[in-house]
Amino acid sequence: MAFTPIDPYGADVLARDPHRDAPGAPNPRSRQVHVEIGMVLEDVGSGWVGAVTRVEKSGGVHLVELEDRRGKRRSFPLGGGFWLEGQSIIALAPLPRTSPG
């Protein structure tokens, strides 16, 4: 019976980052989420929390409009810098609607 060494690192030690990919990682990767009307997001930079009321493309940039609990509305560019249910996300434009039939 021959001894076969076990390589805990695999073929490429840089293929994955345990600080971002492992369960319970201290700095996990942000997941990509297609926003939907009514979804509650927080803009991390400003602390603004609100429900998505619309998504528009203005000047080549996708913007998401958030309405807070007092009815005030602000727009933010889609992308990184949002939280959804306490987790960091990258907000993407909604998926195109498909018509039935």
**Residue 84: pLDDT band by 50, 70, 90 thresholds?**
very high
pLDDT class for 4, splitting at 50, 70, 90? low
Q: What is the pTM of this model?
A: 0.72
Q: Which of 91, 59, 54 is nearest to 73 (CA)?
A: 54
Domain ranges of the chain: 29-92
- Distance, in Å, from the CA atom of 36 to the CA atom of 60, rounded to the nearest integer, reads 20
For the segment 10-65, what is each residue's pLDDT rounded down to a tens digit?
Answer: 667 677 776 666 666 666 778 999 999 999 999 999 999 999 999 999 899 999 99
CATH architecture of 29-92: Roll (2.30)
Cβ neighbours of residue 21 closer than 8 Å, sequence gap 6 or more: 28, 29
